[in-house]
Structure 1
Amino acid sequence: MSGRAVFVHDEALEAYGFGGDHPFNPLRVRMTIELCESLGLMEGHRFVSPEPATDEDLTTVHSLSYVRSVQKAGRDEAPLSELLDYGIGTQDNPIFPQMHEACAHVVGAVIGACRLVVGGEAEHALCVSGGLHHALRSKASGFCVYNDAGAAIARLKEEHPGIRVAYVDTDAHHGDGVQWMFYDDPDVLTFSMHESGRYLFPGTGGVEEKGRDGGTGYSLNVPLQPFTQDPSFIECFEETLPEALRRFRPDLILSQNGCDAHALDPLTHLSATTRVYEHVPRRVHELAHELCEGRWVAIGGGGYDIWRVVPRAWAALWAAVSHQEMPETMPGSWIAKWGGQSPVALPNLTRDAAADYPPIGRAAQIEERNRRTVAELKRKVLPLIEEGPRP
């Protein structure tokens, strides 16, 4: 099975978007797919078309009343006043036609990806349309209507009693929805490294959020200071995630790979480059092989510089998932196609040049603040994870 990777996708997944000038633009998915193809990264690999999630899938983590409200919203069958309490029809989560169908398709894709890997039909799987980690039990939040990762984990727990799932989230925004869904569950480790909630939506994700009851210690948060650059980001990641996963010993790693921590992202204040977006999936890949026989499902997430950042970051993610090296040069055909639509010049290289992102003046102070956060997590939370079963 070694090396077998699948890309879970079909064009119906590109219907999940809010239209107009909304920052969550599904064009980023299309551009990523075409970049992977133009770079030759899809040769010998196949797309797997998913089935939409059923109501039964969705109600593993969402209330039935909420699912029905999403369905009515997409068919224009409910007044806005009835929907706002569910977070539907807000500026962040505007209503669009067939909203339920588009969102359920994303959830079904991530459930399907997890089933392929846990069932042994693939070693790794990628679904870049997934990663809608803010959706709550009965509320849309932060561009997320249904929580695909939450539903996938819940379904796996039903189908494979006792399975241990590690959810690893490196989006710039805290993975709050997934955390709260499994906050008291010691069989689900949620790890989120993000910009501090003091400065960024959703305002949560402090070190003190460590789980409750039997799940105490199984929610790990690494809130980073604004303008954190690559060296500190990678240092914090390496100081926390490997130890947490080695203690927990998951049966599957599900990683959310939002790329909105990039310095060019318009919605956040972190200062990562493509170096982070090669390092993180490569290390998660290595840890999956070390700890759970390679069982790894990767999903997308945030990322709002859709022209210069998202396609390159997620192409690098697919390269890691599929055991390939990332080419150095962007394909001229891809630049020619998309350059005319882009409001900014498209990069000619797949990796950012280090010289374009020199250390900022406050780098040392930011690094020290982040080290103190990591030290607190390692002192107060990591030791609470009980050693998981060994093979």
Structure 2
Amino acid sequence: MAPDTRFTNRSKIRVSYLWSPSLQRLSDDLPSNVGRSSMVHDLIKSLGLLDFEELKGSLSGRGKKGDGDGESEDDDDNEGDRDEIQNEDKQEADGESQRTPVSPTELSTHAQDEKATVVLPDPSLGTKTCLIRYHDRSYIERLLKAHTDEDPNDPTHLPSSPLSSTSSPRRAKIARTDPYNLSHDNPVFPSLSSYISHIAAATSTACRLLATDETDWAVCWDGGRHHAKRKEAGGFCYVNDLVLGGLLLAREGRIPLQLKEGEDVKRQRTRAPRIFYLDMDLHYSDGVSAAFHSPTVYPYPMEEGVNPPKPPNVLTLSVHHSSPIFFPPPTPLSLLPSPGTESPFSLSIPLSAYPSRQTYAKVFNQCIQPIREAWDPDYVILQLGTDGLPGDRVGQYGNWSVAGEGGIKWVVERVKEWGKKVCVTGGGGYRHDNAARAWAEVMGVLLDRDFEEDMPIPHHDHFEQYAPSFTLQVPDSHMRDENKPEDLEKAAEVFNVLAERIKVIVDANS
């Protein structure tokens, strides 16, 4: 398929980087990843990969009331807080442009190298009105409730200390009556209400930059919360920023149709975009896949002479480890589909334990590429969790690599070759030094910056956390890949049939 025509005559892709001081601080508060955001952003800054200069020209107009999806009376109570946070962000972010990265390799000498443009999230895209475009109103109201105003009799209220005399009975009550799953993996924490607004705003801003052709790749490492459901939290995720971003892209990223002879350019016709959601996290994207699962039945084989139903806006494909003892528990949608599935736009590639980069290369070439070619997306949302890397304390069954064919960098290079508009987010990744290393390496791929093997970590605030190697390299694992060639071949056969079916449906409705 031809690359996106919007890339024509541009030798370099435009890369935007979603960040703000408050987004970083609030993401650092996430109980499952305390401090990770600072490690990630500070390493990437120290490598000289970010350009803060353009912030000065963009701060004045971004995030004013009315710029978002529309606000209502529901949002009025928080407007003053949002304005205060935004003003603080502007002041702190403006100061970043005065700082020069320092490293053992004198990265400051690369002033002419490509850099990602830092963009502040638009707070008007994180309001209650925006959040309930997908999430249940009662659930969002619970999340937005100020922590200090919580009713101690609320079943989702956690005791202030695990040593509290009421901790045991409270935990028992939570297990029975918590309607929103705000316990155990998903506890309420003091900055939760601000956190969910910032995460939603960040990924939605990234998607809007794509829809308005202000960038080619929008990077949001704090996003990627793919387990959150419409009415409940799950897997360390409270709101599903990926779903909210995908819905925004579907609304605002419509594709102009070619003008017919004599047609008035002012009456340009458009079509709904095709969006490819690709999830490479070690865990199944249950929240995103459920949200975009189409209820339409696509019969197979098609009855002769009958046009197939229209495709949905979003095709989801999740590559993940699957096991009865691994979160989330397997469901029909998380397993390998049959060639004749009635839902060819909700796809999964379940993997056995310790998938290596060689397995990922086969999966990408033999399964993902045929689907991409058949679907021919206008936009890609790439969830790039790093919990599949070795040594992850939550992933545990990962054996992926950053470098080499089939590694994380290689996957990003392949997606880059598609020539499409891409929003790339973070996700899982619970060994924070390796998450930071991997995402910094991805930034290098996007910016055509080649880092030397065993490149030293630049001296910065988190330098000591990269011991003992103090390099960018993530060592490969020596675990045995349990994925069998015959299983990968079966998946390839299934996905080639599915690709043919998808192409027929797309072509019939184009």
- Normalised to the residue count of structure 2, the TM-score between the two structures is 0.67
Q: Please name the residue that 1:371 is paired with.
A: 488
Residue 85 of structure 1: SS of its match in structure 2? coil
Residue 46 of structure 1: SS of its match in structure 2? strand
Q: RMSD over aligned Cα, in angstroms?
A: 2.6
1:347 has 2:347 as partner:
no
Q: Please name the residue that 1:171 is paired with.
A: 281
Q: Please name the residue that 1:133 is paired with.
A: 226
Change (3 A) 1:117 1:377: same
Q: Which moved more, 1:267-276 or 1:43-52?
A: 43-52
One-letter amino acid matched to 2:276: A
The whole-number CA distance in structure 1 between the counterparts of 2:156 and 2:473 is 47
2:477 to 357, 361, 367: 357
Residue 17 of structure 2: SS of its match in structure 1? strand
1:10 has 2:38 as partner:
no
1:264 has 2:391 as partner:
yes
1:23 to 32, 37, 43: 32
The whole-number CA distance in structure 1 between the counterparts of 2:116 and 2:497 is 44
Shift of 1:159: 2.8
1:153 has 2:246 as partner:
yes
One-letter amino acid matched to 2:437: R
The whole-number CA distance in structure 2 between the counterparts of 1:231 and 1:299 is 23
- Superposed CA deviations along residues 184-213 of structure 1, whole A, max 9, x for unmatched, are 062201011011143410123212399986
- Superposed CA deviations along residues 343-384 of structure 1, whole A, max 9, x for unmatched, are x7243332345xx534x4x44x52326415523632664443
1:195 has 2:336 as partner:
no
Where do residues 255-294 of structure 1 align in structure 2 (5 Å cutoff)? 255-268=382-395, 269-275=397-403, 276-287=407-418, 289=419, 294=420
The whole-number CA distance in structure 2 between the counterparts of 1:37 and 1:372 is 42
- Normalised to the residue count of structure 1, the TM-score between the two structures is 0.87
Q: Please name the residue that 1:207 is paired with.
A: 336
C-alpha contact 2:226 2:287 (8 A) present in aligned 1: yes
Shift of 1:172: 0.5
Unaligned runs of 5+ in 1: none
Residue 503 of structure 2: SS of its match in structure 1? coil
The whole-number CA distance in structure 2 between the counterparts of 1:82 and 1:310 is 31
The whole-number CA distance in structure 1 between the counterparts of 2:198 and 2:213 is 23
Unaligned runs of 5+ in 2: 1-9, 52-114, 158-177, 255-271, 295-310
- Superposed CA deviations along residues 221-249 of structure 1, whole A, max 9, x for unmatched, are 11111111121122112211111111001
- Superposed CA deviations along residues 29-68 of structure 1, whole A, max 9, x for unmatched, are 2112221222222254331111231222211210111111
Shift of 1:74: 3.5
1:110 to 175, 195, 203: 203
Q: Please name the residue that 1:219 is paired with.
A: 346
1:324 has 2:398 as partner:
no
Q: Please name the residue that 2:181 is paired with.
A: 87
C-alpha contact 2:27 2:37 (8 A) present in aligned 1: no
1:235 has 2:362 as partner:
yes
One-letter amino acid matched to 1:385: I
Change (3 A) 1:8 1:346: farther
Change (3 A) 1:311 1:82: closer
Identity between Structure 1 and Structure 2 (%):
27
1:48 has 2:174 as partner:
no
Figure out how many residues of one structure are paired with residues of the other and give that number: 371
- Superposed CA deviations along residues 59-116 of structure 1, whole A, max 9, x for unmatched, are 121011111111126444344415721111x111111113122111111111111111
C-alpha contact 1:210 1:218 (8 A) present in aligned 2: no
C-alpha contact 1:18 1:93 (8 A) present in aligned 2: no
C-alpha contact 2:25 2:37 (8 A) present in aligned 1: no
- Superposed CA deviations along residues 259-315 of structure 1, whole A, max 9, x for unmatched, are 00001111121211222221121111112x1xxxx31111110000012x1111111
C-alpha contact 2:316 2:347 (8 A) present in aligned 1: yes
The whole-number CA distance in structure 2 between the counterparts of 1:29 and 1:346 is 21
Q: Please name the residue that 1:70 is paired with.
A: 143
